[in-house]
């Protein structure tokens, strides 16, 4: 089975005679058992009822716990559950989510993220005020593995509404997390689902949508993304160890070119490479605490992608951090030798 799709998968329309809810909250999961309860409860707190909202967990053969039993315990029959016959990868799992959805608005909610009270009402209001919008999203905050929450001070704009020139802005760099975005099902039916890259496939999707539909936004922070910055297993994943995240980013940037006016392609391509280069160079300083090897590999890839003062600055900070680490380690070793000599 092809796990990374080469073309956007078809999302079939819902049967015309089928009764449909307004909402489909589709929750793809894979080995995030410890967080699923919080995710489900954040939705149930805003549940308008089964006639208005479909809630369903799509599990990609998780091996870290009995997901079905947990869904039944938390949802008490309110939440649907579907388990893949075999592990199919997140592209195929997303495709299953979209094709199983019945609602007019589809919210893909990863099994370790959550929404804050008022999220669905806020998005619904955005679509009512801007019926031509194909998608809408809120400002998002972050959760770490210890459930600490942080909310960025900066917003894309100070008031809710359609984002002007969103295509040009989003094509220069990712501006949101999946948890914050809701897409009309008909948009997925028109454009297809996620494809092509194993990393940042959501970014490509938002660019594709922005090229065809207006996108609405609210500065109210009502969605929380659980980052992996403090998760050593995530930091040293195969993608980062091999530098595959950069390969995927290059491919996503190239794919995005087709959605842009010819006269803007070169500038936006350069800006996208610059922003991603700066982001990863900065992140490599945090990655160092878990794996210096991965940190240096990422930093060097960032320099290769784009040379600019901020990328150089963060790479230099990484090397300075490494130098201090070596000096401190040598100092501790010499001190221990002196102690051993004195005791002898």
Identify the pLDDT of residue 108: 98
Instruction: Name the band, by pLDDT with cuts 50, 70 and 90, for residue 147.
Output: confident
Strand (E) or helix (H) holding 23:
strand 23-29
What the block records as the tokens of 73 is 């315990």
Does 275 lie in the same domain as 181? no
pTM, rounded to two decimals: 0.91
Identify the pLDDT of residue 237: 58
Residue 223 backbone dihedrals phi, psi, to 5 degrees: -135, 140
Instruction: Name the band, by pLDDT with cuts 50, 70 and 90, for residue 344.
Output: low
Q: Which of 226, 256, 273 is the last residue of a domain?
A: 226
Distance, in Å, from the CA atom of 56 to the CA atom of 98, rounded to the nearest integer, reads 11
Does 151 lie in the same domain as 272? no
Q: Is residue 319 part of a domain?
A: yes
Instruction: Name the band, by pLDDT with cuts 50, 70 and 90, for residue 229.
Output: very low
Whether 230 shows a pLDDT value over 60: the answer reads: no
Boundaries of domain holding 324: 235-328
Helix 67-75 to helix 33-44 angle, to the nearest 10 degrees?
A: 20
Identify the pLDDT of residue 340: 59
Does 320 lie in the same domain as 189? no
pLDDT tens digits, one per residue of 155-171: 999 999 999 999 999 99
Mean pLDDT within 137-158? 90
Identify the pLDDT of residue 233: 43
Identify the pLDDT of residue 343: 59
Q: Residue 117 is part of a domain; what is its CATH number?
A: 3.90.550.10
Does 139 lie in the same domain as 62? yes
Q: Is residue 6 part of a domain?
A: no
Q: Where are the beta strands (DSSP E) in 145-268?
A: 149-150, 161-162, 181-184, 215-226
Q: Is 199 exposed, middle or buried (0-12, 13-18, 19+ CB in 10 A)?
A: middle
Distance, in Å, from the CA atom of 246 to the CA atom of 284, rounded to the nearest integer, reads 13
Mean pLDDT within 165-182? 96
The structure tokens 């919008």 sit at 133
Does 197 lie in the same domain as 90? yes
Decide which of 328 and 240 is more confident.
328
Lowest mean pLDDT among 53-57, 142-146, 148-152, 302-306: 142-146
Mean pLDDT within 55-66? 97
Q: Is residue 17 part of a domain?
A: no
Average pLDDT, the chain: 91
Mean pLDDT within 290-308? 93
Does 149 lie in the same domain as 281? no
Q: Is 271 exposed, middle or buried (0-12, 13-18, 19+ CB in 10 A)?
A: middle
Distance, in Å, from the CA atom of 58 to the CA atom of 100, rounded to the nearest integer, reads 9
Instruction: Name the band, by pLDDT with cuts 50, 70 and 90, for residue 316.
Output: very high
Does 221 lie in the same domain as 243? no
pLDDT tens digits, one per residue of 16-35: 899 999 999 999 999 999 99
Instruction: Name the band, by pLDDT with cuts 50, 70 and 90, for residue 198.
Output: confident
Instruction: Name the band, by pLDDT with cuts 50, 70 and 90, for residue 331.
Output: low
pLDDT tens digits, one per residue of 259-297: 999 999 999 999 999 999 999 999 999 899 888 999 999
Does 270 lie in the same domain as 143? no
Mean pLDDT within 91-120? 97
Query: How many domains in the chain?
Result: 2
> Mean pLDDT: which of 59-68, 237-246, 326-335 is highest?
59-68
Decide which of 233 and 104 is more confident.
104
Q: Is 327 exposed, middle or buried (0-12, 13-18, 19+ CB in 10 A)?
A: exposed
Does 247 lie in the same domain as 213? no
Q: Is residue 69 part of a domain?
A: yes
């Amino acid at each position: 089975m092809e796990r990374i799709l080469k073309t956007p998968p078809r999302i079939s329309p819902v049967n015309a005679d089928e009764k449909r809810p307004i909402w489909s909250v589709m929750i793809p999961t894979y080995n995030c058992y410890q967080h699923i309860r919080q995710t489900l409860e954040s939705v149930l707190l805003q549940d308008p009822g089964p006639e208005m909202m479909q809630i369903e967990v799509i599990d990609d053969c998780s091996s870290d716990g009995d997901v079905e039993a947990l869904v039944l315990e938390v949802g008490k029959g309110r939440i649907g559950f579907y388990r893949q016959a075999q592990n199919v990868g997140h592209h195929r799992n997303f495709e299953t989510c979209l094709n199983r959805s019945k609602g007019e608005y589809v919210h893909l909610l990863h099994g370790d993220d959550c929404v804050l009270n008022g999220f669905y009402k806020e998005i619904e209001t955005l679509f009512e005020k801007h019926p031509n919008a194909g998608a809408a999203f809120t400002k998002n905050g972050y959760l770490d593995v210890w459930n600490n929450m942080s909310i960025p001070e900066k917003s894309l704009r100070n008031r809710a509404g359609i984002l002007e020139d969103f295509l040009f802005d989003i094509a220069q760099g990712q501006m949101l997390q999946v948890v914050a975005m809701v897409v009309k099902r008909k948009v997925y039916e028109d454009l297809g689902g996620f494809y092509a890259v194993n990393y940042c496939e959501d970014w490509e999707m938002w660019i594709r949508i922005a090229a065809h539909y207006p996108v609405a936004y609210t500065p109210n922070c009502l969605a929380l993304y659980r980052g992996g910055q403090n998760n050593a297993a995530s930091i040293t994943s195969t993608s980062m160890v091999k530098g595959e995240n950069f390969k995927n980013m290059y491919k996503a940037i190239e794919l995005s070119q087709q959605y842009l006016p010819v006269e803007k392609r070169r500038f936006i391509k350069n800006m996208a490479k610059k922003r991603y280069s700066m982001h990863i160079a900065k992140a490599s300083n945090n990655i160092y605490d878990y794996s210096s090897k991965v940190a240096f590999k990422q930093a060097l890839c960032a320099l290769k992608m784009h040379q600019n003062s901020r990328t150089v600055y963060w790479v230099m900070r990484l090397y300075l951090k490494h130098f201090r680490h070596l000096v401190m380690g040598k100092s501790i070793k010499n001190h221990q030798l002196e102690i051993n000599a004195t005791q002898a």
